[in-house]
């Protein structure tokens, strides 16, 4: 899948959600074909801005702020089933 990127923070969240070694192995195998988007200083700065502006009013969490900031900084469309957190 060369037109799909996944944020490294999303991978961390997915791995953290693994309930056992088998589930984790399947996840790792499925992620091998996807390119990883790491966050950098620009994403960190934008994430801080998002937390300042939206944590108290919208309960924005750290991972969500990094994912949103990555999408904004790199100007890429965000695909998510989590519509509540990424309006």
Domain extents in the chain: 5-73
Inter-residue contact 6 to 34 (CB < 8 Å): yes
CATH architecture of 5-73: 3-Layer(aba) Sandwich (3.40)
Q: Which residues contact residue 77 at a Cβ distance below 8 angstroms, ignoring those fewer than 6 apart?
A: 71
Task: Tell me the backbone φ, ψ of residue 32, rounded to 5 degrees.
Answer: -60, -25
> What gap in Å lies between CA 87 and CA 85, rounded to an integer?
6
Alpha carbon of residue 9 to chain centroid: 5
Per-residue pLDDT of the chain (87 residues; tens, 9 = 90+): 567 889 999 999 999 999 999 999 999 999 998 999 999 999 999 999 999 999 999 999 999 999 999 999 999 998 888 777 777
pTM of the model: 0.82
């Amino acid at each position: 899948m060369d037109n799909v990127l996944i944020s490294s923070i999303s991978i961390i969240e997915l791995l953290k959600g693994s309930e056992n070694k088998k589930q984790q192995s399947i996840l790792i195998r499925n992620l091998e074909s996807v390119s990883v988007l790491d966050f950098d200083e620009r994403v960190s700065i934008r994430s801080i801005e998002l937390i300042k502006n939206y944590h108290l009013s919208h309960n924005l969490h750290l991972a969500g702020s990094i994912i949103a900031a990555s999408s904004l900084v790199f100007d890429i469309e965000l695909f998510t089933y989590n519509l509540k957190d990424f309006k």
